[in-house]
Structure 1
Amino acid sequence: MKRGFEHQDQPNKAQRPRYDSTPSSVAQHYNERPDVGAVKRKESKIIRLRSFNNWVKSVLIHRYVRPNQNVFDMGCGKGGDLIKWAKARIHHLVAADIADVSLEQMQSRYKTLRDRSFTAEFYAMDCYQELIAPKLRPDLQFDTVSMQFCLHYAFENEKKARIMLQNVSSRLRSGGMFIGTMPDSNWIVKRVRQEPPRSFGFGNSIYSITFDDIQDTDDDRKKIGFSTYGCKYMFHLVDAVDCPEYLVHWPTFERLAGEYGLKLKFKENFHDFYTSASKEEEHSRLLSRIGVIGGQAPEMTEEEWEAAGIYLAFAFEKK
Structure 2
Amino acid sequence: MIPPQQRLLDFAKTALLNIFLHPYASVCDLYCGKVIDEERWDEAQIGHFIGIDVATSGVSEVKEAWESQRKLFGCDFYELDPCTEDVGPYLQEKENQADIVRCIRHLQLCFETEEKARRLLQNVSSLLKPGGYFFGITPDSSTIWAKYQKMVEAYHNRSGGMKPNIVPNCIRSESYMITFEVEEEKFPFFGKKYQLKFSSDPYAETHCLVHFPSLIRLAREAGLEYVEIQNLTEFYDDNRTQFAGMLQDPAHSLVDPRGRLLPRSYDILSLYTTFIFKKPDPDLAPPLMTPLLPDGNYDHDEIELHEASWREDEKISQSEMAPGLGKIAEQKGILGPGPADLRFPELL
**Structure 1, unaligned runs of 5 or more:** 1-42, 216-223
What is the root-mean-square deviation in Å for CA atoms of aligned residues?
2.3
**Distance (Å, rounded) in 2 between the aligned partners of 1:185 and 1:74:** 21
**Distance (Å, rounded) in 2 between the aligned partners of 1:109 and 1:205:** 40
Q: Structure 1 residue 298 and structure 2 residue 252: aligned?
A: yes
Distance 1:241 1:107, change over 3 A: farther
1:216-266 CA distances to partner (integer Å, 9 max, x unpaired)? xxxxxxxx2210010111122333852321011001101111111111212
Specify which structure has the higher proportion of strand. Answer: 1
For residue 124 of structure 1, report the CA deviation from its aligned partner: 2.2
Does the 8 Å CA contact 2:101/2:127 hold for their aligned counterparts?
no
Distance 1:203 1:77, change over 3 A: farther
Distance 1:241 1:176, change over 3 A: farther
**Distance (Å, rounded) in 2 between the aligned partners of 1:174 and 1:203:** 44
For residue 86 of structure 1, report the CA deviation from its aligned partner: 2.3
Distance 1:208 1:173, change over 3 A: same
Aligned pair partner of 2:192 in 219, 228, 231: 231
Q: Structure 1 residue 92 and structure 2 residue 54: aligned?
A: no
2:91 alignment partner in structure 1: 136
1:16 alignment partner in structure 2: none
What secondary structure does 2:58 align onto? Answer: helix
Does the 8 Å CA contact 1:181/1:314 hold for their aligned counterparts?
yes
**Distance (Å, rounded) in 1 between the aligned partners of 2:13 and 2:124:** 18
Residues 17-166 of structure 1: pairs in structure 2 closer than 5 A: 43-44=1-2, 46=3, 48-98=4-54, 100-104=56-60, 106-107=62-63, 110=66, 116-139=71-94, 140-166=96-122
Distance 1:230 1:54, change over 3 A: same
1:39 alignment partner in structure 2: none
Distance 1:265 1:128, change over 3 A: same
Compare relative contact order (CA 8 Å, sep 6+) and give the higher one, 1 or 2.
Answer: 1
For residue 212 of structure 1, report the CA deviation from its aligned partner: 2.0
**Structure 2, unaligned runs of 5 or more:** 156-166, 255-261, 281-348
Q: TM-score, normalised by structure 2?
A: 0.68
Does the 8 Å CA contact 1:49/1:305 hold for their aligned counterparts?
no
Distance 1:274 1:165, change over 3 A: same
Q: TM-score, normalised by structure 1?
A: 0.74
Does the 8 Å CA contact 2:84/2:116 hold for their aligned counterparts?
yes
1:248 alignment partner in structure 2: 210
What secondary structure does 1:315 align onto? Answer: strand
What secondary structure does 1:278 align onto? Answer: helix
Work out the percentage of aligned pairs sharing the same amino acid.
29
1:77-125 CA distances to partner (integer Å, 9 max, x unpaired)? 2234332222222111111112534324544664688x94222111222
**Distance (Å, rounded) in 2 between the aligned partners of 1:204 and 1:124:** 38
1:209 alignment partner in structure 2: 178
Task: Compare CA radii of gyration and give the structure with the larger one.
Answer: 2
Aligned length: 258
